């Protein structure tokens, strides 16, 4: 009996040590992210519909619904063909994709992104702008860790990577900037609270939530930028008490699947702002969450997401008042 007890203690100790080692390796995988040139503090890329183009034909879906970042074999090959660093390191890795499917691998890729800059130019009507990349910069963002993704699927930047950055989104020029500090000229909008997820035991990225008041009731909305064509989603049974106007039935696509949702405009308060927004009412649960918000769709102006401290910022004036780069 004593021998069996000792064996159990040894087995449990080994399992705990393995779990502790896995957590440490996973949770510190992104610790070495840095710009190759210390004088460079930001990188700006073309960004549209939640997808960022980090290099020609190399696209990543920015998905806060995914705690783990994934890179496809095709994008690994493209980055290598462009002369960018792609190294592999081997250790047990456990993560989850945007569908909450648990994934396991024995290696991760350490990838470099080229640092990009863009010039904004007025068109002939002096109203809209177009973007011209600056190809003179040779710096990179190094040591971004990715789990191997599936062939044929778009690569994903999840919250394990995002939690190390501040991102600035300017929809007017379809750009997103990765940086380590909040730029000047923005005012605090609301909190974006990070919470432990079921995958946190393995060192994956956190889940983020925003508090909103709808019909006088405060609710926690899961921040999920991986959903298509949806600003805010609430349970279907709440549409009648939400005071929604202009109600209609729409087909909405989430994670590649279509579902029917009742849609209407709802008055709500988020942070220090009150206004009306389009809400989809459906009992479909994405990542197991009944309430979620896609901030990229919800915020139409210049905005900053500080994933490190959990805050969202807005610029207090329209983009047209900013000085453009005239060349």
286-325, pLDDT tens digit by residue?
667 889 899 998 988 899 999 989 999 998 865 444 444 4
Asked if the model's pLDDT at residue 80 lies above 80, the reply is yes
Lowest average pLDDT, out of 95-104, 126-135, 211-220, 290-299, goes to: 126-135
User: Rounded to an integer, what distance in angstroms lies between the CA atom of residue 58 and that of residue 51?
Assistant: 10
Asked if the model's pLDDT at residue 12 lies above 70, the reply is no
| Residue percentage of the chain with pLDDT more than 70 | 74
Neighbours of 185 (CB within 10 A): 12
Over residues 261-281, the mean pLDDT reads 84
All structural domains of the chain: 29-179 (2.40.70), 187-321 (2.40.70.10)
Asked if the model's pLDDT at residue 126 lies above 70, the reply is no
DSSP β-bridge partners for residue 263: 248, 280
pLDDT-derived band at 132, boundaries 50, 70, 90: low
Over the chain, what HEC string results? CHHHHHHHHHHHHHHHHHHHHHHHHHHCCCCCCEECCCCCCEEEEEEECCEEEEECCEEEEECCCCCCCEECHHHHHHHHHCCCCEEEEEEEEEEECCCCCEEEEEEEEEEEEECCEEEEEECCCCCCEEEEEECCCCCEEEEEEEEECCCCCCEEECHHHHCCCEEEEEHHHCEEEEECCCCCCCEEEEECEEECCCCHHHCCCCEEEEEEEECCEEEEEEECCCCCCCCEEECHHHCCCCCCEEEEEEEEEECCEEEEEEEEEEEEEECCEEEEEEEEECCCCECCECCEECHHHHCCCCEEEECCCCEEEECCCCHHHCCCCCC
State the distance between the two ends of the chain, measured CA to CA, in whole angstroms. 83
**pLDDT number for residue 267:** 86
Residue for token pair 């290696």: 107
* Radius of gyration of the chain, Cα coordinates, nearest whole angstrom: 22
Q: Which of 94, 46, 49 is nearest to 68 (CA)?
A: 94
Alpha carbons within 13 angstroms on the beta-carbon side of residue 299 total 28
CA distance readout (Å), 196 to 11, 70, 166: 28, 20, 20
Task: Take residue 142 and report the two structure tokens written for it.
Answer: 């190094």
Phi, psi of 181 (to 5 degrees): -140, 160
| Residue pLDDT, tens place only, 170-224 | 888 888 999 999 999 999 999 998 887 665 555 578 889 999 988 778 899 999 9
**pLDDT number for residue 145:** 92
Q: Which of 214, 93, 189, 222 is nearest to 149 (CA)?
A: 93
Task: Take residue 191 and report the two structure tokens written for it.
Answer: 């909190």
Q: pTM above 0.85?
A: no
Residue for token pair 């991986």: 226
Residue for token pair 């705990």: 16
> Is the dihedral angle over the CA atoms 288, 293, 297, 303 positive or is it negative?
negative
DSSP β-bridge partners for residue 103: 95
Residue 178 CA, distance from chain mean position: 12
């Amino acid at each position: 009996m004593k021998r069996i007890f000792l064996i159990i203690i040894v087995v449990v100790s080994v399992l705990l040590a393995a779990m502790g080692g896995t957590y440490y390796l996973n949770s510190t995988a992104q610790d070495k992210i840095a710009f190759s040139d210390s004088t460079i503090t930001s990188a700006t890329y073309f960004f549209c519909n939640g997808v960022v183009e980090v290099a020609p034909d190399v696209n990543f879906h920015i998905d806060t619904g995914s705690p783990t970042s994934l890179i496809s074999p095709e994008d690994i090959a493209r980055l290598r063909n462009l002369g960018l660093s792609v190294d592999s390191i081997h250790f047990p890795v456990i993560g989850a994709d945007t569908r909450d499917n648990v994934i396991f691998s024995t290696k991760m890729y350490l990838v470099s992104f080229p640092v990009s800059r863009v010039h904004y130019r007025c068109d002939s009507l002096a109203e809209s702008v177009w973007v011209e990349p600056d190809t003179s910069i040779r710096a990179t963002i190094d040591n971004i860790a990715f789990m191997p993704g599936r062939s044929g699927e778009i690569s994903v930047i999840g919250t394990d990577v995002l939690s190390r950055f501040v991102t600035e989104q300017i929809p007017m020029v379809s750009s997103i900037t990765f940086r380590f500090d909040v730029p000047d000229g923005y005012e605090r909008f609301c909190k974006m609270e990070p919470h432990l997820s079921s995958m946190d035991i393995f060192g994956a990225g956190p889940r983020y939530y925003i508090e909103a008041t709808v019909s006088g009731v405060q609710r926690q909305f899961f921040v999920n930028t991986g959903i298509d064509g949806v600003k805010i989603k609430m349970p279907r049974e709440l549409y009648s008490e939400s005071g929604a106007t202009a109600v209609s039935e729409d087909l909405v696509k989430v994670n590649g699947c279509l579902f029917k949702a009742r849609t209407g405009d709802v008055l709500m308060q988020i942070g220090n702002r009150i206004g009306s927004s389009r809400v989809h009412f459906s009992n479909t649960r994405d990542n197991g969450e009944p309430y979620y918000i896609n901030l990229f769709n919800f915020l139409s102006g210049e905005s900053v997401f500080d994933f490190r401290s959990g805050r969202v910022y807005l610029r207090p004036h329209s983009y047209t008042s900013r000085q453009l780069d005239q060349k």
